[in-house]
């Protein structure tokens, strides 16, 4: 069984993971359908090419999200714990 290598293309701070097998199979299907005159099916397969690509977060993006989530949770807990010290209309 042969394996197809996954290519990672940087896109800003995201990485695009490309599944070459899906890409090539979809292009082959579209070409076959087009050669038999099925333009609608070929167009659908051409649009399905997008399924061969996937955006992945970089480790830096994941770390930023973790830090941001921790800060929001800490602020929420701080507010909740001191909320009963506020006057009644502000609770």
pLDDT tens for 59-74 read: 887 888 899 899 999 9
Label residue 75 exposed, middle or buried (CB < 10 Å: 0-12, 13-18, 19+): exposed
79 vs 25, 41, 71, 72, 73, CA distance in Å?
A: 55, 57, 12, 11, 10
pTM over 0.75: no
43 vs 30, 40, 50, 51, CA distance in Å?
A: 7, 5, 12, 14
Residue 11 has pLDDT above 60, yes or no: no
Question: How far is it, in rounded angstroms, from Cα 44 to Cα 39?
Answer: 9
């Amino acid at each position: 069984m042969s394996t197809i290598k996954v290519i990672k293309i940087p896109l800003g701070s995201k990485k695009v993971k490309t599944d070459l097998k899906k890409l090539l199979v979809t292009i082959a299907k579209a070409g076959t359908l087009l050669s038999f005159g099925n333009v609608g099916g070929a167009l659908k397969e051409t649009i399905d090419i997008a399924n061969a690509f996937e955006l992945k977060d970089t480790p830096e993006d994941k770390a930023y999200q973790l830090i941001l989530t921790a800060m929001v949770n800490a602020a929420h807990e701080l507010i909740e714990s001191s909320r009963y010290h506020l006057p009644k209309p502000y609770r």
